[in-house]
Structures are given as C-alpha cells and as structure tokens.
Structure 1
Amino acid sequence: MTSLDGAARSLGRVGRGMTLAARTVLPVDTNPVPADWTHVTKVDPENAKKLPLLYPVYLRHTSAVSVGGSADVTARNTEETFDLLAPASVPVFHEPSGPRHVTPRTRERADLLAIPEVLNGDSESLVGQLGEGTEYIREELVPELLGEKLPWLPARLADALADVTTSWLLAEAVFEAYVIQNPDSAAAREANVTESDLLSASETKQRAMAAERHLESELVYLEYSGTYGGDEAAETLAAVSESLSWSRLWYGGGLDSRERATAMLDAGADAIVVGDAFHRVADEEADLCERAAEDLEPGASASAVREWVGENVAIADSHAAAYLATIPSVSDPEGLARRYLTATVWTWLRLWELGRDGADERASAPNPSDTGDLRRALGPDAADDVESEDAALVGRCLRALLAEGTESDGDADPSASPSTSEEIPVDHLSVSVSRQ
C-alpha cells in the first residue's frame, strides 16, 4: 500500500467519523428530510386516481407531496403528475416503485428522490430493485443527461464522469426503509410480502435499527397501505421511535380522521402519510358537480352555490372534511371543506357555462380561472390565505381544462394557447368541462 493510499484511507475514516458524530452526538440535524414535515400527501400517478379540481388549494395545508404508487404507474403518468404539481407551494418529492419511473424530467421537478427498500419482502425488493435501478442510472439515465448537457465530451471522459455522476445521484437520494404490514395491498404484492413476513413490534424495531445504522436509511416507513394499523401500529411506532436517533419515522395506512392521525403521531411517528383520503375527494367532486348541474344554473352565484352545498352535502361526513381532518394544522376541517367544495362547484359550473358558449361570449364573460374570482368563490374566511402560486396553478389548470373542452367541441377558444391542453394533462382531474 502506498503512502497516498494510506492517507486516503485515513481521510475516509475521519470523514466517516465526522458523519457519525453529526448524526448521533452533535446538536445538528443532517437528515435531508425536513424534521418539520408532519403530514405528507401521497399522490398516485395511476390514471384511475384523480386529483380534486382545486387540488393546489387542498395541498397547501400539507407539509409535502409524495408522487408514487404501486399499480399501473408508468414513466409517462409520473411525468404528467409532476407537470400538474409544478409549481406548487409545498415541496414535491418522487417515490418511484420502479427504476424506469425516474426520468430526466422527474429528476428536474422533484425536490427529493426517495428510493424504497422493503425490509420484510424478498431479496428482490431490497437488493434486486436497487441493482436494476443502479444499472439503469449508470447505463441509460446518466449518459442521456451527459449527452444533453455536455455533448462535446470525449467518450473516455464521458464514461468516467458517468461513474461519478451515478454515485453522486445515489448519494443525493433518500433511502426509505419500508415495513409493509398489509399482505393484501398492492405494495405487498409488488414486494412479495405475505402473512408469514409480517413483523412484530420487536422485529420491526430490530430491522429499523439496522436500516438506520447499516443501510443509512433516512426514512423508516411503517406501511399498512389502505388499512388502519390501530393499537398494533401504535405499539410498533413506540418501539421503533425509541430506537432511532437520526432516521425519520413515518406511518401510512387508513388515515381518514383527526383521531387516527393524532393517534399515530402521538405513538411516535414523525410524520403521517395520507393518500386514499385525498383521492377520494376527487371522486366526491365528480358526483357533487353532476348533482349540482341538475339543480343550479351554470351562472349561479357563489352565494347560491354555498346555500346549495349547505342543503345537499353532509359536510361532516364528506371526504373533503376527512382528508383535511388528518392535517393537524387545520383547526376547522369541516368549515374549510365547506368553502372548498363550494368553490369547486361554482368553478365547474362557470367552466361548463363557458364551455358551451361561443367564442364571443367567452371573451366577454368572467373567467373562473381568474385568481381574483377564485379567491372570492372561496369566501372571505379563506380568500386571504391562499398562496399566490396556488391560485396561479389553479388558473393554469382551469384554462387548460376549458381549452380542452372547447377544442373537443370543435369551437376552440382563440385566446387560449394551442398547446396549453397538451402541456397540462387535465385528464388527471376529477371533472371535465363536457358533461357526459
């Protein structure tokens, strides 16, 4: 061993020692996943999982948005989902279920890349996927990126830089150690988790400790995937929470009320992950708008719509209120749900009216994509706290929705950009302009 090799190894040991000290002893937080994230909304790119019409207004209350799913997810619908979420007022990160869901476009849009590692699945779910992903990054993704950015590089230098870039991208990624506890879920099927693979609280604790200290996983995720873990999950969270000093501990599964969300946070979760409850808001909107169209005129005022919602919607039992109730910072989920559902129905009725009018009428009519109109529709209690980027993102989506609806009727709006509806995948939204 040369003196240079020895010096390099000494430096490596010093670096590892400093990293260990920063994670366990020093009063600093080196985990790239923010500690103040307490509520994460998971948006599934699957085409069947729709987004609420005013989704940026709902998402402004969450800490962060995760993009990913276990079934019917492709690179294309993942990119489309990122297109819809940019630029949102909250961080958006990517949690791919397959290596090829990561593309140059998703890398550009995502604030973080979270790579799943299933601790109680088969070896393929822990090592095989990572190996396939590393090969894809090194042999396809990175060469494509370098070819675009540095096309003049000689082949030998490009190959060496590809090695460095691959290691850098993996070092920059967040590793998410999963314990899947619902064997009937799509996530369990993907990772080959069966009844015999379910873990006790003590077994989960042991694997979480290995994930933090050996795998250096920034996240440990207890996943019940569509079912609520209850007392069993609370016991596991308490055990795992006591054993971790650097990794974040998240819980996901069956969260659709303030009581359930609070129970998991109180048990030791740093953050809770809510997915199905958010997508159910979109399903609710589609039915609600169809019902409103039977009772209200397209040009109904916001006050008329507000009265109709009050008479026809059981807000306390609504999916909108259920989703908002999972967010600890939302003090009045029912009141907020009432305002958001009113604004959604009013907005859709106006879009429908504009969609059926001719181009001349549309040019002179009030447009629901105007951010001032949106704020007024939300009502005085919520109008002032809507972020400007959220209102602008809503307006962009509504213009695209209107453009697509009018183009499909052969009466395109001349004021709309011809590529707008192509750039924004409005088929992911809960409603369309054209009534069925």
Structure 2
Amino acid sequence: MLREKIEEFRHVFKLDPAKNISDEALEALSTSGTDAIIIGGTDDVTFANTANLLYRLRNCLVPCFQEISTPTSLVPGFSAYLTPTVLNTEDARWILGMHHQTIKRFGSFIPWDKVLLEAYVVLNPNAKVAKRTNANTNLQIEDVIAYAQMAEWLQIPIFYVEYSGTYGRVDMVKEVSSKLKQTRLFYGGGIRGQSQAEEMAKWADTVIVGNLIYDDWIKAIHTVKWVKSIKRGEKK
C-alpha cells in the first residue's frame, strides 16, 4: 500500500517545476540513493512545466510524487499524488478549498488509491508559501504539537513541518516527533550541510531537501548519505 511505502522513506528530494535544472543534475539526483522525488512548488507551477519535468525523469528508478499546487497543474503518470492542507493558515482555501476545486474538476479521473493527504504547518514567515497561504507562523512548540496531534487523530498519514528556505528549530521537531505514533513526520527547510542533515534526521522520519539542489546539486546529493547514516530517534 501507498501509506506503507512512504514509511520506508528517510530522504526525499523536492523539485520545483518552475526552476531550471540540468539533465546531468536530474540524473545524479535520481541515482543518488534518495528514496523518492516530489515535484511541486509555490509560484508559476503549471501543467506544462510539471509534465515536462516528469518526462525528463521518465527513466527515474525511484518513485516520483506530485504535490498538487493548483487544480490546473494535475498531471497524470506520477507514482502517487500528495494533496497538502495547511493547518495553520487563516484562509480556508488552503485547508480544503483547493482540494474541493481539484475534485470538482478532475474527480472522475483521480486515481484515489494513489492519493495521500499531507498536513502542513508552515513556520518561516518570510517564505513564499507562508505569504501565499496566509499562514500564522507565530506559533509556540505547544501549538505545533497540537497541530501534529490533530493530524494523527484525523489519521492524516503525513505531518509536514515546513521551514522553506531557513533551518528550523530542532527542539520543536524533537517534541513533535515524540507525540506522533502513526503519522509520518516530514521535515523540510534549510538543510545546507552535514550537521543540519544529521541533526534533523535524528528526529524527523523523512528529511526533504529542496532549495540546496538549485544552489549546489552536488552538495545536495551528499545529503542522502548524511541523512541515512543517522538512526532515527525512538518515539516515546
């Protein structure tokens, strides 16, 4: 099952279809030992650039997931689809509104056995995704823990702590990790070196690497071994 598959993921690369990347880099990323590739972004994500990136990854040996940004960017042919819901938004469109519009438009074509809901908490106030979704980033650890427990109670398979462009609070990720039993904890944001990759890998079930790819894709490849060298901390 799909949910069981993502439980095997320790490291994932996230590619933005609106950003330029060479064929050399794509081949290196797809053969790096990462567990999966997610394609998705915040700005200028279209059907055309998403489909083009998927086509360029047609020989990729790891699963390629699409994170659905807008109803019009849904592309057939991915291994699976992730539908993000932003729990700390103040705009209901980003909780269920976009999902409703996507289903209304493409419901009869959606492969439901390949769809997973992921619950986001966006924590970098300067990130594009925070501004676009009107996210309340002024949260204490207790607030984030409550969102995590909400996600688990609702049986959402993924709880995604998103710092998007900056390195997050390890103490917060550690505390959230200790509260989750069934829901998978994804962490993304600011992984730029070995110490950061290893530090977050100790507490997050899955570490997402994105922005580093476009700054230094060779260094990004090293994050695979850095993350996978760390044994996941025990949940209590």
- Please indicate the TM-score interval, normalised by the length of the shorter structure: 0.7 to 0.9
Question: Displacement, 1:32?
Answer: 3.7
Paired position in structure 1 for 2:45: 73
Paired position in structure 1 for 2:208: 273
Q: Which whole-Å CA distance do the structure 2 matches of 1:270 and 1:324 have between them? A: 19
Preserved CA contact (<8 Å) 1:52 1:279: no
Pairing 1:2-401 to 2, within 5 Å after superposition: 31-46=3-18, 48-51=19-22, 53-61=24-32, 62-102=34-74, 106-108=75-77, 110-121=78-89, 122-138=91-107, 142=108, 169-170=111-112, 172-194=114-136, 197-214=137-154, 216-229=155-168, 233-266=169-202, 268-281=203-216, 320=218, 322-328=219-225
Which ranges in structure 1 are unaligned for 5 or more consecutive residues?
1-28, 146-165, 282-318, 332-436
Q: Which whole-Å CA distance do the structure 2 matches of 1:217 and 1:172 have between them? A: 14
Q: Which whole-Å CA distance do the structure 2 matches of 1:137 and 1:53 have between them? A: 34
**Higher share in strand:** 2
Supply the AA of the counterpart residue of 1:264: M
Q: Which whole-Å CA distance do the structure 2 matches of 1:198 and 1:112 have between them? A: 32
Question: Displacement, 1:170?
Answer: 4.0
| Deviation by residue 1:174-224 (Cα, 9 ceiling, x = unmatched) | 111000001211111221124xx432221111111111222x211110000
User: Structure 1's 176 and 77: CA in aligned 2 closer, same or farther, altered over 3 A?
Assistant: same
Paired position in structure 1 for 2:232: none
Supply the AA of the counterpart residue of 1:270: D
User: Structure 1's 170 and 101: CA in aligned 2 closer, same or farther, altered over 3 A?
Assistant: same
Task: Point out 4+ residue stretches in structure 1 off by more than 6 angstroms.
Answer: none
User: Structure 1's 330 and 250: CA in aligned 2 closer, same or farther, altered over 3 A?
Assistant: closer
Q: Normalization by structure 2: what TM-score?
A: 0.88
| Deviation by residue 1:290-345 (Cα, 9 ceiling, x = unmatched) | xxxxxxxxxxxxxxxxxxxxxxxxxxxxx52x3123222699xxxxxxxxxxxxxx
Paired position in structure 2 for 1:335: none
Identity value in percent: 28
Q: Normalization by structure 1: what TM-score?
A: 0.49
What is the aligned residue count?
A: 226
Which ranges in structure 2 are unaligned for 5 or more consecutive residues?
229-236
User: Structure 1's 30 and 63: CA in aligned 2 closer, same or farther, altered over 3 A?
Assistant: closer
Preserved CA contact (<8 Å) 1:31 1:246: no
SS at match of 1:31: helix
**Higher share in helix:** 1
